[in-house]
Chains A and B, each alone.
Chain A
């Protein structure tokens, strides 16, 4: 399969020549349709990676390529979700989900004339994440887990080729988190979207991803790349099997080394 995202020897420094070096010699590639996870010690430049891929930052050195073209400005084929659901409180959940369509060029022109079609699509998405019938509620009337699901719908409404998730389950309780893992797993299986998940939860990464990249501490680069062989669809029970635990354990060791090296 051809890669959807490639990052080639990228260096990114904040605030000019003597600024903070966030990542150096960062290289990785993610195939189309793949589920990749990036793990690493805190402050290793995971969020910088997100912004490089989405074109919010342009690297000083190296090349970022998404869908075959070099990234020099924001790429509208990505959807993003963060730890904080960042729903706009003055819009209903449905209107929050439709927000990206009001921005992306190819949709904003069609939005007014084809409103019903888009609303139907948003409602279908809400149903897939288990929020059927909650579209007219305001985000602050939903629980944290429900808001995070709605935020996933917002990230998916414009049918992105690439979904970037920055610790989207970090603020949730463990039961809700497991539920959302399954939702993401099913979305990935059903829609064939490429997903890059940035996380510090190793079990989450091993459960969801096809491939895991381990980043070093700042300045961040990839120090280990590991394929996760477990067959799909994976059941939550897999997390209690010895093979799974071994992978998590080894990854934990790599990250501990990365922290020590810092």
Chain B
């Protein structure tokens, strides 16, 4: 609270100050070392490119956002369902866990050609790549939450005649919610990785496709413009997920709220 009494909240301002500092350093380096635009364009040049190509950037950003969100939503539904299934029974857990680890170890970029064979070039492989890459952390987190029920709570309820279903509904699933909402932040960032990977390999639109085209024409400022847009979309979605996490599971963050 000492920051508030001084009139200016440095903590609140810190993200903006650091971001501004990064861009100023970047601008200074690009100008000072006289770097050519096709190596590292200065932020002002990138800003010009964003303005100049705005309609294309906007259209492709929306496409990437759409495939990312679609894949992410599939991952949420699928990850939650599979996580509960895996957390439900030790038998399913023991059987599926090595399979999932193995599957997760496969670089998803290697799957894009397969997806293209199945579904053709375009939106569907991007959505599916985003889904495949984002759903593993959700499964693992939900299953962890279910697996760490305090044995005493389980005893209290089982002694009263509770069925497995009761324990899951009353204790297991609410308990795993902080893990689930926490994993959404990881999953949404991974979903962006997945959709952009797929767009750079096989697509007609999206930021990945746009950047690939710009690169082949040596339009490096436009490549960086795409990167900036990706970063912005990533930050916004991450912030939304963090906000949802706070709203839904405030009880799990009690130490922070108590301290505040």
Chain A interfacial positions (CB closer than 8 Å to B): 51, 54-56, 73-76, 78, 80, 82, 84, 86, 88-90, 99-100, 102-105, 138, 140, 154-155, 158
Q: Are A54 and B150 in contact (CB under 8 A)?
A: no
Chain B interfacial positions (CB closer than 8 Å to A): 150, 152-153, 155-162, 166, 170-171, 174-175, 177, 249, 251-252, 254, 258
Question: Please, how many angstroms separate the alpha-carbon atoms of A54 and B170 in the complex?
Answer: 20
CB of B93, distance to nearest CB on chain A (Å): 20
Which B-chain residue is minimally distant from A102 (CB atoms)? B170
Given contacts A74-B159, A89-B252, A103-B161, contact A82 B170 (CB under 8 A): no
The 6 closest A-B pairs by CB, nearest first: A54-B159, A103-B162, A76-B161, A86-B152, A103-B160, A82-B152
Which B-chain residue is minimally distant from A84 (CB atoms)? B152
Which A-chain residue is minimally distant from B162 (CB atoms)? A103
What are 15 A-B interface contacts by the 8 Å CB criterion? A55-B159, A56-B158, A74-B158, A80-B155, A82-B156, A86-B152, A89-B254, A99-B170, A100-B156, A100-B160, A103-B160, A105-B161, A138-B251, A138-B254, A154-B156
Question: Please, how many angstroms separate the alpha-carbon atoms of A90 and B155 in the complex?
Answer: 19
Contacts of B156 in A (CB 8 A): 80, 82, 86, 100, 154-155
Given contacts A88-B171, A90-B251, contact A78 B159 (CB under 8 A): yes
Contacts of B175 in A (CB 8 A): 88, 90
Which A-chain residue is minimally distant from B177 (CB atoms)? A90
Question: Please, how many angstroms separate the alpha-carbon atoms of A51 and B157 in the complex?
Answer: 12
Contacts of A103 in B (CB 8 A): 157, 160-162, 166, 170
Interface of B (DSSP majority class): helix
Contacts of A76 in B (CB 8 A): 159-161
Which A-chain residue is minimally distant from B163 (CB atoms)? A103
CB of A208, distance to nearest CB on chain B (Å): 21
Contacts of A75 in B (CB 8 A): 159
Question: Please, how many angstroms separate the alpha-carbon atoms of A76 and B171 in the complex?
Answer: 18
Q: Are B150 and A86 in contact (CB under 8 A)?
A: yes
Contacts of A82 in B (CB 8 A): 152, 155-156
CB of B32, distance to nearest CB on chain A (Å): 54
Which B-chain residue is minimally distant from A166 (CB atoms)? B152
Q: Are A56 and B153 in contact (CB under 8 A)?
A: no
Which A-chain residue is minimally distant from B156 (CB atoms)? A80
Contacts of A102 in B (CB 8 A): 166, 170
Q: Are A140 and B166 in contact (CB under 8 A)?
A: no
CB of B201, distance to nearest CB on chain A (Å): 43
CB of B98, distance to nearest CB on chain A (Å): 25
When the two chains form the complex, which single residue of B150, B162, B252 contacts A84, counting CB atoms closer than 8 Å? B150
Question: Please, how many angstroms separate the alpha-carbon atoms of A75 and B161 in the complex?
Answer: 7
Q: Are B251 and A74 in contact (CB under 8 A)?
A: no
CB of B73, distance to nearest CB on chain A (Å): 25
Contacts of A78 in B (CB 8 A): 159-160
Contacts of A54 in B (CB 8 A): 155, 159
Q: Which of B159, B177, B251 has the most CB of A within 10 A?
A: B159
Q: Are B171 and A74 in contact (CB under 8 A)?
A: no
Which B-chain residue is minimally distant from A108 (CB atoms)? B166
Question: Please, how many angstroms separate the alpha-carbon atoms of A86 and B148 in the complex?
Answer: 13
Contacts of B159 in A (CB 8 A): 54-56, 74-76, 78, 80
Q: Are B152 and A88 in contact (CB under 8 A)?
A: no
CB of A184, distance to nearest CB on chain B (Å): 18
Contacts of A80 in B (CB 8 A): 155-156, 159
